[in-house]
Structure 1
């Protein structure tokens, strides 16, 4: 049976039924077992400038290399002078100093949650003396928000609860294969009073 078929007939063995959260207003859909697959959104359009916010791919590759190599500002500035002499302008390399690289990294870092520092102490059991530790971490909440606000990623998130069942010849047997197919996901959607399009 094809997805979304409106003909009423008894279910077939191994068919898969997807029931959506009632707030979506979507009707259940039944698939033949061999046809069932995760709903996929339209393919990602090619990203015109995946190196953004750097001005060019070559600038990003240079900044990445300078970062990985732990070059000093003086080394970066010198390397840029050498590259500018050698490169035949196949791509745009607009950096003139390491400050240009730093400014590009500053623009890039605004896209991601920043690290915070937490200092704490723990009593050392051998001699009872406290030991000081420093933990650098990012906010998980801020990271999640950054992910869901990303237009390339957001359309791939599953926002609505689903209930999956497979017909065994006599009854529909529920199964779970993703977090949004569990009962708790539907309860959260209801408790959050989320209205779906």
Structure 2
């Protein structure tokens, strides 16, 4: 398994992971109509437009590749949410592992790569948003994240909670410390 910086050529693979991960993670949470726009083609076009920004200006996107196939990806950079920015200047924008590759350590490796990037940008603390009932919440807790904020979010006409996890010391992720 190789972890490397993403490039524009990775848009189709990232799109596939993104769609399959979201459907697997939220299929039992969101109403079916939410996934109508979650097609490989739609996400690939979005990634082709956004990927140049997702690898510049302090933001970085990494992919985990297995035999030429994108198995997972993660993004990190400066915190976007003003409510968190005072304390958490860095943000893990998302960690997405294809369902076929979950439970193999890719999420941890990608999170470590993102933490290294955040530290290189001077960020000592970081946060990550997840939508309530995300089945991967225990992973973020195992990685040392603590719930630090909750905010309402509307998706598909329904109200949910957006939960922010915070890491007080990004360096712990870099040192590969055993967490929890």
TM-score, normalised relative to structure 1: 0.20
TM-score, normalised relative to structure 2: 0.22
* Bigger radius of gyration: 1
